[in-house]
Amino acid sequence: MNTAPDSSQNQAPIRPPVFWHLPARTPIVTYVLIGLTVTAFLGQFISEAALGGDLLAAFGMKINSAIMQGEIWRLLTPMFLHGGLAHIAFNMYALFSLGVGLEKQYGHGRFLMLYLLGALGGNTLSFLLTPSNSLGASTAIFGLIAAEGVFIWKNRRMYRNPQKELVNVALIVGVNLFLGLGGGIDNFGHLGGLIAGIMFAWFAGPQWTGTVQPTGLHIIDQQRPGRMWLVGGLVALFWCVLAIVKMVG
């Protein structure tokens, strides 16, 4: 007597659909930041061509003596200014590559706060530790790189191979800091952005968890939305206090 094989034993288990509840769908802030930075660069170019000097850089780049005289906006405005076409092209490519994914995970407001804090931390540490003038979005970019690493670590159960992802982030940081040893690059600015990004992302970054519902597996950020204001305020206060101590010291 022949028996027919049980077809149910050969079937792959049915996987429930997975729904990611992302805070943002379209990375509007990333696109706006790129637009503002490119516009500022065009202003620098026009100023050079028409007036023979870069007025935007003169009034906005990180100049320690000017900050000491009270021009504290220079701890943020350098993130919109660049020293050449290759400089802005590299930074805007990095902002687009990192920002599109991070903004969807963070949401518009939290992502903007992360970017601003990276710039603040980077320019403040540069102000504290190096007399050189500097400009560029790389301070904020390093804040994004740090946040990417923290996101992978805190949500490593969501990745097939989180170690590989973390090694990639570490290599990006290591290579860029190594290149900065050759001169002409503000490594303290990069390091400050990295530290500020870690500080904010660790305490206010997305913390994903999965809940099984009748419709499938829902991945939800369990981080409280209002927490970003407390953490962001404390991180900003930390860097501002360091800057003030030097200014009055």
Summarize pLDDT for 120-172 with one digit per residue, the tens. 999 999 999 999 999 999 999 999 999 999 998 998 887 788 888 888 888 88
Residue 216 lies in a domain: yes
pTM of the predicted model as reported, rounded to 2 decimal places: 0.88
Residue 4 lies in a domain: no
When divided into structural domains, the chain yields a total of: 1
Residue 7 lies in a domain: no
Summarize pLDDT for 159-171 with one digit per residue, the tens. 788 888 888 888 8
Residue 196 lies in a domain: yes
Give the number of C-alpha atoms closer than 13 A to the C-alpha of residue 203, restricted to the C-beta side.
14
Question: Which CATH number fits the domain that encloses residue 114?
Answer: 1.20.1540.10
Cα angle for residues 64, 136, 144 (degrees, 5° grid): 115
Cα angle for residues 80, 116, 108 (degrees, 5° grid): 105
Residue 5 lies in a domain: no
H helices present in the chain, as ranges: 7-10, 28-51, 55-60, 64-68, 85-106, 108-129, 138-154, 162-180, 187-204, 227-248
Residue 8 lies in a domain: no
Summarize pLDDT for 85-107 with one digit per residue, the tens. 999 999 999 999 999 999 999 99
| Amino acid 11: pLDDT | 61
**Phi-psi category of 16—alpha, beta or left, where left has phi over 0 and alpha has psi -120 to 50?**
beta
Active site residues: 138, 190
| Amino acid 128: pLDDT | 97
Summarize pLDDT for 174-195 with one digit per residue, the tens. 888 777 777 778 899 999 999 9
| Amino acid 44: pLDDT | 97
Which of the four pLDDT bands, split at 50, 70 and 90, describes residue 117? very high
Residue 163's domain comprises 19-248
Residue 171 lies in a domain: yes
Residue 100 lies in a domain: yes
Q: How far is CA 177 from the centre of its chain?
A: 16
